A and B are shown apart, each in its own frame.
Chain A
């Protein structure tokens, strides 16, 4: 019965919330890094890289990914194309 009421009320099943919340909490517990520290790191990385190459700061994605019990800092930093910059 609970399922039916969840469906009509649009409430998310609690197991899904538990898993999503735990995924985030565990990343922070394991890396000992808060969201604001991650943002500070992101700003530092961007300032260093943009001294050498032209990048689009808005397209940059930096986050922590898990692989088993290992945490990995993953950065996706698109470089601005030289030709596109000239034409644009």
Chain B
């Protein structure tokens, strides 16, 4: 076994890094892969609640790095998927507790344990970002179709190129189809044109994401959710499958009737 290590980062906070990590991990594990997520946001632990694993934490990332427990002891097994694990962030420490070389060492150890390691990067471009990308074979930059998020994504892409991490792939998250239709939101094409990187997925805005987070059950588990489908597609593209991008135009019944009536 030799895992691929993927870091998800964004520059700006609140664009959906943690949600994306949880959902892509769930999708990969549902496809039969063995997956370990790492919450890299030391001091601001969150991936555990999004995955619904907050009550199972004994050891954390800093415990492994400082040798207070073995790697296996810090890997919390998911409730639903037996091949999915989480290494939570330490909550009472800060980013100075981990260095880039610590993460490279941990990543190398994990390579023999699982198929995929997904690292949830903290927001920002400082120390936390640097250790989060240190071990990555591939970096996914996530953004929203909104000026501040796109600007920060551009900055992060520039830094990744400077760090010789290669060109990252882009996830556009929370695309509001109604606003796009009204020309009040950047389209996925606009964002790709501005950032000039490879697209790996477009996730439509979906209330089910919040509902899933409320319950600690990522929506990639929900077959009916469009956002869940988008995350499952990203997982398959990571696995090398050529999945066509979803048609995100309005496919509701009303839109179809309007189209049939020639009103659109």
Identify the A interface with B (CB < 8 A).
2-3, 13-16, 18-19, 21-23, 25-26, 29-30, 66, 68-69
A68 touches which one: B146, B154, B155, B196 (CB < 8 A)? B196
Q: How far is the CB of A46 from chain B (nearest CB, A)?
A: 30
B154 x A14 contact (CB < 8 A): no
- A sample of 16 cross-chain residue pairs with beta-carbon separation below 8 angstroms, ordered by A number, consists of A14-B184, A14-B185, A15-B184, A15-B187, A16-B183, A18-B146, A18-B190, A19-B186, A22-B150, A22-B151, A26-B154, A29-B151, A66-B196, A69-B161, A69-B167, A69-B196
The answer to whether the Cβ of B158 comes within 8 Å of any Cβ in the partner chain is yes
Chain A residues, Cβ within 8 Å of B183 = 3, 13-16
Chain A residues, Cβ within 8 Å of B196 = 66, 68-69
The answer to whether the Cβ of B249 comes within 8 Å of any Cβ in the partner chain is no
The residue in chain A whose Cβ has the minimal distance to the Cβ of B154 is A26
Q: How far is the CB of B166 from chain A (nearest CB, A)?
A: 12
Chain A residues, Cβ within 8 Å of B194 = 19, 22-23, 26
Chain A residues, Cβ within 8 Å of B150 = 22
B186 x A15 contact (CB < 8 A): yes
The answer to whether the Cβ of B182 comes within 8 Å of any Cβ in the partner chain is yes
How many of B's residues come within 8 Å of A, CB to CB? 22
In the bound complex, CA of A68 to CA of B157 (Å): 12
The 5 A-B residue pairs whose C-beta atoms are closest, nearest first, are: A13-B183, A68-B196, A69-B196, A15-B183, A14-B184
The answer to whether the Cβ of B49 comes within 8 Å of any Cβ in the partner chain is no
Interface-centre pick from A3, A22, A30 (highest chain B CB count, 10 A)? A22
B151 x A69 contact (CB < 8 A): no
- Whether A30 touches B154, Cβ cut-off 8 Å, given contacts A68-B196, A69-B161, A69-B197, is yes
Question: 16 extra interchain contacts, Cβ-Cβ under 8 A, other than A18-B147, A69-B167?
Answer: A13-B182, A14-B183, A14-B185, A15-B180, A15-B184, A15-B187, A16-B183, A19-B190, A21-B147, A22-B147, A25-B147, A26-B194, A29-B151, A29-B154, A29-B155, A69-B196
Interface-centre pick from B180, B184, B186 (highest chain A CB count, 10 A)? B184
Chain B residues, Cβ within 8 Å of A16 = 183
Q: How far is the CB of B192 from chain A (nearest CB, A)?
A: 11
Chain A residues, Cβ within 8 Å of B185 = 14-15
Q: How far is the CB of A32 from chain B (nearest CB, A)?
A: 10
Q: How far is the CB of A5 from chain B (nearest CB, A)?
A: 11
